[in-house]
Structure 1
Amino acid sequence: MPEALPAMIFVRSHAFNVLFYANLIVQMIVLGPLMLFGPEATGWWVVKNWARSSVWLLEHVGGVRSKITGIEHVPAGPSIIAAKHQSFWDVFAIIPDLDRPTFILKKELMRIPLFGWLAASMGMIPVDRAKRGGAVASMIEGARKAVAEGRQIVIFPEGTRTAPGAIADYRQGVFRLYEDVGVPVVPVALNSGLYWPRHAFLRRPGTIRADYLPIIEPGLNRADFLSHLRDSIETRSADLMAEAYASDGHLPASQGSRDV
């Protein structure tokens, strides 16, 4: 029986991947016009329907559950959601619990046919990372508009997906955003990379955890803000990884696990 487990994981992972991307494509084609031409509320119904259906597929087809805690820390009104980033799960799984979130994403994604149009219609903020200082100015301009509309801004402070257990490099963009728009920051810790590894086909069974943490109020200087943000996210993420090992036996690749 134990020998059959890797084969079962492979089959479930393959089935999930096919259905996940098919679900994304079909919903963009069939429901995309509602987002482009319908009222904003309808657009958010489409987006959240896709997010919830993706979470459902991950659990019931892929064998990976999702558990998100600490949502009570998200204040009413505009805020910055600063989340650790380890997998695609970090994008869709947090959407249902947020109100009209604006994601800061790389500009290349906006060039994808249909997806880019839909992302623009929902007010996402593209960033051209090749422009350096110009990228920050563009991000802040979009963020000011989102805050004026009372929306939450989702940013991944590391700027890209990082492997669980890797040394975290928090970019200055998150501080520039915090400094300029003057709203609370909600750190988010998670362990998704243990179950949905970067550049890997397989999805490891178990329960992905994400935890919204107590807010960081406006007004800190750069050093204090980045230290507080990094310490809160990394400390709790380490706890969640330890819990993942205790419950599901998963370790970061740097500590001897394999992407199976």
Structure 2
Amino acid sequence: MILLRSILFQAAFYAVTIFYGIVLLPFLLMPRRWLWQGVLTWIRSCLLVVRYVGGIRTEITGKENIPDGPLLVAAKHQSAWETLALLLLFKDPTFILKRELTWIPIFGWYLARAGMIPVDRGAKAVALKTMTERAVAELAKGRQILIFPEGTRRPPGAPPQYKFGVAHLYASLRVPCLPVGLNSGVFWPRRKPLRAGTIRAEILPAIPAGLPRGVFAARIEREIEASSDRLIAQGWAELGEGPEENGKVTDLSPLSPPVEKS
């Protein structure tokens, strides 16, 4: 049943994505705000697929902690879910993402036109400088900068691997940073079948601007990890198992992307 649900989900998700990828092509020539409305419609459609085909409900708490205006958002990254769901929470968000995603035909066009911030992870110091300059420019427009501090997806329970970039951005941008913990990897793991259940995300109180870089780095990791560990434990309890059992699930080809409580 789990394998069949995952196969049906992949088929439905890709069908929705291809449909909107074609329908929204004319929006690439329109103002970004118009394109963004179309993208949001695609995201909401994907989340409906997640809910009704994938059997995954969602709960997002702490929305009252989101301040208005320019903001740095640092979220745990465990699955494709947060790459979509988080975009619905903010007025004008932009993701910091790996440059290779912009090379994908059609999909990459939308990323570029939506004003996402690509990073050449192999360029190191140059990439950090370019990322910061782009983030400053987007922040000046009143946008919210979203970043995954570990740079890539990490399985639930894996030791954290926070990179230097988030602390550098925090010090450079001089705006509050909003930590986000979640447990999406329990139910939507990478290259494994979906598990029906409830993905939970927690928006924590914003960390004020101006802390020393080292103090901030320690605090952001501590708060995100504590929240995520608690939510992951809730997820395993909901499934009635632990990471050992889940790790034995049959592997699949990569699953794709996510959702408010639904």
- TM-score interval w.r.t. the shorter chain? over 0.9
Residue 226 in structure 1 maps to residue 217 in structure 2: yes
Aligned to 2:255: none
Q: Is the 8 A contact 1:55 1:66 kept in 2?
A: no
Q: CA deviation at 1:48?
A: 1.1
1:220-259 → structure 2 map (5 Å cutoff):
220-253=211-244, 257-259=247-249
SS state at 1:99 partner = coil
Of 154, 160, 174, the residue aligned with 1:168 is 160
Residue 177 in structure 1 maps to residue 176 in structure 2: no
SS state at 1:94 partner = helix
Residue 28 in structure 1 maps to residue 21 in structure 2: yes
Q: CA deviation at 1:220?
A: 1.3
One-letter amino acid of the structure 1 residue matched with residue 26 of structure 2: P
Distance in 1 between residues matched to 2:249 and 2:138, nearest whole Å: 38
Q: Is the 8 A contact 1:98 1:152 kept in 2?
A: yes
Q: CA deviation at 1:258?
A: 3.0
Q: CA deviation at 1:257?
A: 4.3
Distance in 2 between residues matched to 1:32 and 1:55, nearest whole Å: 21
Aligned to 2:136: 144
Of 3, 12, 23, the residue aligned with 2:5 is 12
1:1-260 → structure 2 map (5 Å cutoff):
8-34=1-27, 36-200=28-192, 202-253=193-244, 257-259=247-249
**Aligned residue pair count:** 250
SS state at 2:153 partner = coil
One-letter amino acid of the structure 1 residue matched with residue 2 of structure 2: I
> Structure 2: which 5+ runs fail to align?
251-262
Q: CA deviation at 1:133?
A: 0.2
Q: 1:256 to 1:42 in 2, by over 3 A?
A: closer
Distance in 1 between residues matched to 2:212 and 2:195, nearest whole Å: 40
**TM (normalized to structure 1)?**
0.92
Q: What is the alpha-carbon root mean square deviation over aligned residues? A: 1.4
Q: Is the 8 A contact 1:110 1:117 kept in 2?
A: yes
Aligned to 2:258: none
**TM (normalized to structure 2)?**
0.92
Q: Is the 8 A contact 2:236 2:243 kept in 1?
A: no
> Structure 1: which 5+ runs fail to align?
1-7
Q: CA deviation at 1:12?
A: 1.3
SS state at 2:60 partner = strand
Q: 1:209 to 1:250 in 2, by over 3 A?
A: farther
Q: Is the 8 A contact 2:186 2:236 kept in 1?
A: no
Q: CA deviation at 1:256?
A: 6.3
SS state at 2:24 partner = helix
What are the superposed Cα offsets for residues 145-182 of structure 1, whole Å, 9 maximum, x if unpaired? Answer: 11100000010000010010000011000011111111
Distance in 1 between residues matched to 2:130 and 2:42, nearest whole Å: 28
Distance in 2 between residues matched to 1:189 and 1:250, nearest whole Å: 21
Percent identical among aligned pairs is: 46
Distance in 2 between residues matched to 1:167 and 1:205, nearest whole Å: 25
